[in-house]
């Protein structure tokens, strides 16, 4: 198995790159991740509160920033990479995303079905007055 220096988790100090230099330290990687996360969070607040953007572009901007935030957390804090020894982490992440997706879709389906089958307020008032 060959070591690919370009496919290391941030903070992996045990493997040297091809140039002979060590990968950045764990504290440095976490600091970079923190700085990026804070910048993305501040940008999200700015996007939500600015009038410089087109009104329909604000939700799209927030979605893009949220996806970027997830990427920063996956790479810098959870250290998810495409390395062969990281396959179990990627599969666990995919399974977690599937479960969250199923719970959200199932909840929306149940709430929609309940809302559709609920008795309307005038019918309920008429039933209460008859008793």
Q: Which residues contact 42 (CB under 8 A, 6 or more apart)?
A: none
- The reply to whether 56 and 94 lie within a common domain is no
What is the per-residue pLDDT for 22?
Answer: 46
- The reply to whether 100 and 67 lie within a common domain is no
> With pLDDT > 90 as the criterion, what percentage of the chain qualifies?
38
pLDDT one-digit tens code per residue, 62-77:
999 999 999 999 889 8
Conformational region of residue 8, where left means phi above 0, alpha means psi within -120 to 50, and beta covers everything else: beta
- The reply to whether 102 and 124 lie within a common domain is yes
**Structural domain span for residue 98:** 85-131
pLDDT one-digit tens code per residue, 6-19:
556 665 555 454 44
Determine if the pTM surpasses 0.75: no
**6-15, 92-101, 108-117, 122-131: lowest mean pLDDT where?**
6-15
**Structurally, how many domains does the chain consist of?**
2
C-alpha 62/C-alpha 48 separation (Å) is: 8
- The reply to whether 115 and 60 lie within a common domain is no
How far are the Cα atoms of 24, 90, 108 from residue 96, in angstroms, in the given order? Answer: 29, 10, 18
Q: How confident is the model at residue 4 (pLDDT cuts 50, 70, 90)?
A: low
Using an 8 Å Cβ cutoff, are 71 and 99 in contact? no
């Amino acid at each position: 198995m060959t070591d690919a220096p370009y496919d290391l988790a941030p903070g992996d100090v045990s493997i040297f790159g091809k140039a002979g230099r060590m990968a950045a330290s764990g504290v440095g990687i976490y600091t970079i991740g923190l700085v990026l996360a804070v910048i993305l969070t501040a940008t999200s607040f700015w996007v939500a509160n600015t009038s410089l953007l087109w009104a329909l572009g604000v939700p799209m901007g927030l979605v893009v920033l949220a996806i970027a935030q997830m990427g920063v957390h996956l790479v810098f804090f959870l250290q998810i990479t495409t390395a062969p020894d990281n396959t179990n982490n990627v599969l666990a992440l995919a399974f977690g995303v599937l479960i969250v997706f199923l719970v959200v879709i199932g909840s929306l389906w149940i709430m929609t079905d309940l809302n559709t089958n609920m008795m309307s307020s005038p019918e309920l008032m008429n039933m209460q007055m008859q008793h």
